[in-house]
Chains A and B, each alone.
Chain A
Amino acid sequence: MDNWIKVTSIFVLSGLFLFGLYHSSAISDSKGPMQPILFSHKIHAGENQIPCQYCHSFADVSTNPGIPSVQKCIGCHSQVHGKDEDYKTDTGKVINFKTEIDKVKDYWQRKEPIPWIKVTDMPEYVRFNHKRHIKRGFECQTCHGQVQEMDVVYKAERMNMGFCITCHEENADNQEHLTQLKDCLTCHY
């Protein structure tokens, strides 16, 4: 009778294996990385309503949206110095506005770039053209999540191929467009 237990468990295990394969990359980081400066998108994009493309200004002209130069940061922060006040971020970390802003000023003073940690990283064999997506009218949040509500930005979507392809399927105008959007060479070359 032992066999039956074995056979059943093999079936169950292989089922789990397949399920695991299917969902292997479904787990996304719930927390973002520790950045050199605790830059809160929640405060900038959320509370202060600064449009995404004010800082990521190339999203509609280039494949790469770009990240703001230190010069751009200091453009505002030469005026905005931050209160000497504590702030509890959504990850529970307590920071001081002024201390964080002083860090930006330090970088500027030293003429050093800020070594930001990449949150959303595409493998190099994937070509994602920001311009095309923005021009088609997609919100940044579609892929990046509700960034304006995050103190510490994290990867909100798993951004694997399934994520991309589902969206491409949903947004095709017609059959021919669908064929184009699902053409492998659209993203991989």
Chain B
Amino acid sequence: MSLNQGVVGVYSYVDSVLDAVRKLKANGYENLRVFSPVPLHEVEEEIDLPPSPVRFFTLFGGLLGAASGFAFTVLTSAAWPISVSAKPIVSIPPYMVIVFELTILFGAIFTLAGLLVNGFLRNRAPVSMYDKRFSDDKFGVMVVCPTENISSVQDILNSTGAEEVKVDSIDG
């Protein structure tokens, strides 16, 4: 069994990055990752990732918020019925405001949770592969490959205009 190695190439130009991605994919390297200071839609099209599951978090949060808002208002009103202004003890119209606000609140909190879980906890890029310039003006193309393929990847990266290529071992 060969240890997985990471190779990252540092680019200045987006078209070079795209070239590298296409070339790597053509060579059968599927485990690719692109670092960029801005979201790159061309790259998104090239590296076809599954749709983000964050939406389920948002949906779930919203539904949970609505349900809990509804349950909370109704149950607490019924727990000690206090009559105000001859309105019914459980009076749905005013409670809809609470339901609405809790829908948003829970939706937002769960969206955050979705982002944290999916964007930051799962699929984290290895620290060693990161270059500080990626948040500034450089782009990075990272390939995970068995040790034996390192040189071939390096070649591809260099040939597509990488200004620098780094290799490091990565865990898992």
Contact = CB atoms under 8 A, between A and B. Distances in A.
* A and B, direct touch (CB closer than 8 Å): yes
Interface string A37-56: 00000000000000000000
A144 interface: no
Contacts of B80: 182
Interface of A is mostly: helix
Contacts, number: 3
A6 to B, nearest CB: 13
Contacts of B82: 184
A158 to B, nearest CB: 20
Interface residues of A, number: 3
A184 B80 CA distance: 11
Contacts of B81: 179
A184 B81 CA distance: 11
Interface string A157-189: 000000000000000000000010010100000
Interface string B72-106: 00000000111000000000000000000000000
A182 B83 CA distance: 12
A1 B82 CA distance: 47
A182 B82 CA distance: 9
Smallest CB-CB A-B distances: 3 pairs:
A182-B80, A179-B81, A184-B82
3 contacts: A179-B81, A182-B80, A184-B82
